Amino acid sequence: MPTEECPLNTVCHTQLSFANLGRKPVLATFDGGKITSDAGAPLLREIDRRTGLLRAINACIEDPRDPRKVRHAQLTLLRQRIFAIALGYEDANDHNTLRSDPALKIAAGHAPDSHPDLASQPTLSRLENRITPRQLVRLARVLVESYIAAHPRPHSLIVLDIDSTDDPAHGRQQLALFHGFYDQYMFHPLLVFDGLTGYPLAAVLRSGRAHASKGAATILRTIIRRLKKAYPDAHILVRADSGFATPTLYRTLERLGVSYTIGLIPNARLRERLAPLVEQAQEQFETTEKKQRTFTAFSYKADSWKRPRRVVAKVEYHSLGSNTRFVVTNLRHLTPQRVYDDLYIGRGDTENRIKELKLHLKADRTSCHRFEANQFRLLLHTFAYALLWHVRQAAAGTELATASMDTLRLKLLKIGARVKESVRRVVLQCASSYPYRELLSTILVNLACLQPQPVPLRV
């Protein structure tokens, strides 16, 4: 609506006009003070205070800057970047405006009014691009140590799910190569999650041409040795799909004394072995018109294996025909159906965790030129995932106990509030219509009751 202060042919920056609501004009003004849409960000700070995760990350990275010229401490940079990723701001470019957000400043440990703005995109990008391979190794160890700190001892069973995923590349990043199966230029990350709790233990960026199993034996060997030291009485089970069905991985796991269930790609010999069972299932289906499902196990030796191993097979027959699956395992005391139904297919939950990491935490933002910088980014997003994992743990017993990461963010972090700072306190005046105040209160109480072991500063 044109006024004397804002004529029709000029742009008014103090008041905007929308369509009337009945006879009442609808206006927008810009005099509400410091307002944020992320008033739940201090919840991430509470998680960090209790776990010490960001301090452990910071201890892995040497700061080469001249202390006399440093405006933003490295720990503050890490908090700013990782908390922002958890809040849904995955790009460093977002910080050109986000650096002034009062809630993010509070989460990073600074007062919203009396402290200068946080770092801009160039400062954060310089941090990402000075990471060295040695520092990346130490950061990978922090991820495992944070898992141990988050899972109190003793531990009777640990399930490790290992999988790979595609990370499309759209520029000229180092080692972003063409993968024939995915038909694209990409990276090929390798991920390890706890199959029971969903906590990440490894996130390793690999070249686009890497086979699914490349480096899997080495990574699992390192993780399992550390877990055996932390949980000497725990039984460890490794689960993987057929992309990891390699003799090297079998031998590594057998030497480490852990159990495994790994998918096996069907071949003519395996199908021939199951032919009588498939025929029997077909006859029963044609008689009953109900889906048939049966299991068997047998000893099998592929040409590349030095000795036979146990293979569990599932046979299904339904209106669309037969469906067979094979799993190689060293579990000899369990029935074939228990190996398949109770153990192997549970790895489907970890596929959902990978989707959360990629879709909700945007872990595929590997757009730096240097490969090391992109590996660092993948770890930053994985650490942000770990923070939200702790939020979900604190929501045990509530409707968010099994919520996805984006649901946690939407209901607990994306809260509209006016931020006021006085001499004595900082107040987040949240929206009166915020519907999850009781839920947020319960989570804060649960966090106060938790006594997690802090992540070691030196690994």
Give 29's DSSP letter.
E
What does the block give as tokens for 156? 């009777």
pLDDT tens digits for range 357-404: 999 999 999 999 999 999 999 999 999 999 999 999 999 999 999 999
Mean pLDDT, the chain, rounded, equals 93
Mean pLDDT of 209-221: 97
Cα 2 from Cα 68, distance rounded (Å): 52
Give CA angle at 50 (234, 437), nearest 5°. 110
For the cut 80, the answer to whether the pLDDT of residue 2 exceeds it is no
**Bigger pLDDT: 456 or 306?**
306
pTM for this predicted structure: 0.93
Residue-level pLDDT at 13: 62
The dihedral over CA atoms of 73, 69, 366, 415, expressed in degrees to the nearest 10, equals: 40
User: What is the length of the chain?
Assistant: 459
pLDDT tens digits for range 159-176: 999 999 999 998 889 999
When pLDDT is cut at 50, 70 and 90, the band that residue 8 belongs to is very low
Share of the chain above pLDDT 70, in %: 97
pLDDT tens digits for range 73-86: 999 999 999 999 99
Mean pLDDT of 122-128: 96
Which DSSP string do the residues of 336-391 spell out, in sequence order? HHIIIIIIGGGGHHHHHHHHIIIIIS-TT----SSHHHHHHHHHHHHHHHHHHHHH
Of 45, 91, 25, 103, whose CA–CA distance to 363 is shortest? 91
Mean pLDDT of 346-365: 93
**Bigger pLDDT: 458 or 47?**
47
Cα 399 from Cα 442, distance rounded (Å): 11
pLDDT tens digits for range 106-119: 999 999 988 899 99
With beta carbons less than 8 A apart as the criterion, state whether 360 and 406 touch. Answer: yes
pLDDT tens digits for range 144-163: 999 999 998 888 999 999 99
pLDDT tens digits for range 309-337: 999 999 999 989 899 999 999 999 999 99
Residue-level pLDDT at 154: 82
Residue with tokens 């090929």: 188
What does the block give as tokens for 201? 């233990």
When pLDDT is cut at 50, 70 and 90, the band that residue 9 belongs to is very low
Mean pLDDT of 438-452: 87
Residue-level pLDDT at 453: 77
Q: Which of 75-79, 210-214, 341-345, 455-459 has the lowest mean pLDDT?
A: 455-459
- The burial class, CB within 10 Å (0-12 / 13-18 / 19+), for 399 is exposed
Phi, psi of 36 (to 5 degrees): -130, 155
Mean pLDDT of 189-208: 97
When pLDDT is cut at 50, 70 and 90, the band that residue 14 belongs to is confident
